[in-house]
Amino acid sequence: MNKTTLLAVNGTLMCGLELNGNMTAAGGVFVREDQTDPHYRFWNIGDRHPGMIRVTTGGTSVALEVWELPLASFAALLLSEPAGLAIGKVTLRNGSQLLGVLAEPRLVENQKDITAHGSWRAYTGHFHST
């Protein structure tokens, strides 16, 4: 029985960013950098974190990180995420799907669209080498 899952993250849980300590405290292990397929839009939520939603038109590929996370700590990590973020299936550029952090549509209302940046790191200027 698999006791871990892969989780795609696109914001402050990424290496070196504000909430990455929550990921590592939950036993998360960095696997790789990746990208979504070109069907996502991305918003800056209150200058604190991003929100990503899958769309039919007008999307782009969003840069993200894939982490391996113990199932036993999965719920605790999710509870530490900001309100309005949820887990859903994210489609990667190679067509595969895995669990990832997505925004509820109401969360992005009246927020700044940062889709053109393609990543939270590009938008904020916080780059990290893994």
Whether pLDDT at 126 is above 80: no
Whether pLDDT at 127 is above 60: no
pLDDT recorded at residue 81: 85
Alpha carbons 26 and 14: distance in angstroms, whole number: 13
Distance of CA 42 to CAs 105, 110, 127, Å? Answer: 11, 13, 18
CB atoms within 10 A of CB 109: 8
Whether pLDDT at 114 is above 70: yes
Residue 24, SS3? helix
CATH superfamily of 4-124: Gamma-glutamyl cyclotransferase-like (3.10.490.10)
Q: Can you tell me which residue has the tokens 């669990």? A: 99
Q: Which amino acid is at 113?
A: D
Mean pLDDT of 107-112: 96
For residue 62, give both structure tokens. Answer: 């969003």
Whether pLDDT at 130 is above 80: no
H-helix or E-strand containing 55? none
- Who has greater pLDDT, 15 or 82? 15
Burial class (CB in 10 A: 0-12, 13-18, 19+), 6: middle
Whether pLDDT at 113 is above 60: yes
pLDDT single digits (tens) 20-52:
999 999 999 999 999 999 999 999 999 999 999
Boundaries of every domain in the chain: 4-124
